[in-house]
């Protein structure tokens, strides 16, 4: 799987892209407990206080969404274009 | 429906966009345009410039999903969406939504709906450069209310 971060989350992660080679998580929520920020907290814990949107294969989803090898998973703050 | 979605660093010219829409929608009598421009002030701070980031693999798909909904709902004859990325100065153009319909009612409504959905669903993020430093622009709750006012959205 490929994991992407954008905007303020990309800066917080100090990383724009991860190649996920650890155990394949069942769903997005499970992946979020395994992704760690530079300060050591999990993305799941970060998302308790910061608004995050999730896309799997370029489609907006929620945390219950199942994941498969080869998926592209993206995390980002609420969008502010226009 | 004729459609064109462009995500680009370059500026756009509204008269050229009108020309393209007219040339590709011969049955259209109503055209509506919305242009978004970089403000020189936000939250009482001077904006020197704006940086626009996006999710390249997703943004264009998401804009097409929004156009799908506008086409289905309003029977649009044409739509062009242009959104700029990269570094922009105060007063630069950011976004253009241009739609063509048989009559003005559908054109006004579709233009507004596309813009409301773009604000909450299209994967762009703005960072403002102010004399006090850089800051990511926060999403507005009022934008979610405007999106919700259009009813069900599956984009």
Tokens of A36: 């760690």
Q: Residue ranges of chain B with pLDDT lower than 50?
A: none
Asked, for residue A81, whether it belongs to a domain, the answer is no
Where do we find the tokens 């773009």? B118
Structural domain range at position A33:
2-76
Of A55, A60, A81, Cβ closest to residue B126: A81
Please report residues of A whose CB lies closer than 8 A to that of B126: 80-81
Q: Does A4 touch chain B (CB under 8 A)?
A: yes
Give Cα B68 distance to the centre of its chain. 15
Q: Does B98 touch chain A (CB under 8 A)?
A: no
Distance CA B137, CA B58 (A): 20
Tens digit of each residue's pLDDT (9 = 90 or more) over A44-81: 999 999 999 999 999 999 999 999 999 999 999 999 99
Please report residues of A whose CB lies closer than 8 A to that of B36: 82
Report the pLDDT value the prediction gives residue A45, as an integer from 0 to 100. Answer: 98
* Shortest Cα distance, chain A CAs vs residue B137, angstroms: 7
**H or E stretch covering B72:** helix B56-74
Q: Does A55 touch chain B (CB under 8 A)?
A: yes
- Is the CB of B119 less than 8 angstroms away from the CB of A79? yes
Residue A58 CA neighbour count, 13 Å, CB half: 13
Confidence of residue A36 (pLDDT cuts 50, 70, 90): very high
Tokens of A68: 């498969």
Q: Helix, strand, or coil here: B57? A: helix
Report the pLDDT value the prediction gives residue A69, as an integer from 0 to 100. Answer: 94
Report the pLDDT value the prediction gives residue B91, as an integer from 0 to 100. Answer: 95
Which residues, 6+ apart, have CB-to-CB distance to B2 below 8 Å?
A: B21, B24, B25, B77, B78, B79, B100
CATH number for position A8:
3.10.20.30
Please report residues of B whose CB lies closer than 8 A to that of A7: 53, 125, 127, 136
What CATH number matches the domain at B2-149, 1.10.275.10, 3.90.1170.40, 3.90.800.10, 3.30.1300.10? 3.90.1170.40
Domain coordinates in residue numbering, chain B: 2-149
Asked, for residue A44, whether it belongs to a domain, the answer is yes
Of B58, B118, B136, Cβ closest to residue A81: B118
Report the pLDDT value the prediction gives residue B19, as an integer from 0 to 100. Answer: 98
Closest by alpha carbon to B83, among B137, B125, B20?
A: B125
Report the pLDDT value the prediction gives residue B43, as an integer from 0 to 100. Answer: 81
Q: Does A76 touch chain B (CB under 8 A)?
A: yes
Report the pLDDT value the prediction gives residue B154, as an integer from 0 to 100. Answer: 53
For residue A42, give the DSSP letter.
Answer: B
* Tally of domains in chain A: 1
| A63 within 8 A of A26, measured Cβ to Cβ | no
Report the pLDDT value the prediction gives residue B65, as an integer from 0 to 100. Answer: 97
Tokens of B57: 């693999």
A30-43 mean pLDDT: 97
């Amino acid at each position: 799987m490929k994991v992407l971060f954008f905007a303020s989350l990309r800066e917080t992660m100090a990383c724009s892209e991860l190649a996920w080679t650890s155990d394949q998580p069942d769903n997005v929520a499970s992946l979020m407990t395994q992704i760690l920020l530079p300060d050591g907290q999990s993305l799941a814990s970060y998302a308790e206080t910061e608004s995050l949107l999730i896309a799997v294969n370029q489609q907006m989803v929620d945390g219950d969404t199942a994941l498969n090898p080869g998926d592209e998973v993206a995390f980002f703050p609420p969008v502010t274009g226009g | 429906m004729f459609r064109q979605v462009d995500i680009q660093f370059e500026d756009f010219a509204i008269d050229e966009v009108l020309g393209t829409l007219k040339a590709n929608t011969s049955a259209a009598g109503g055209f509506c345009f919305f242009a978004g421009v970089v403000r020189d002030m936000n939250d009482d701070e001077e904006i020197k410039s704006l940086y626009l980031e996006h999710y390249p693999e997703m943004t264009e798909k998401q804009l097409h999903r929004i156009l799908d909904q506008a086409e289905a709902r309003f029977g649009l004859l044409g739509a062009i969406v242009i959104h700029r990325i990269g570094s922009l100065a105060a007063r630069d153009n950011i976004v253009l939504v241009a739609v063509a319909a048989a009559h003005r009612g559908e054109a006004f409504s579709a233009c507004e709906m596309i813009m409301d959905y773009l604000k909450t669903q299209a994967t762009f993020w703005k960072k403002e450069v102010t004399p006090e430093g850089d800051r990511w622009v926060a999403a507005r709750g009022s934008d979610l209310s405007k999106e919700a006012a259009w009813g069900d959205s599956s984009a």
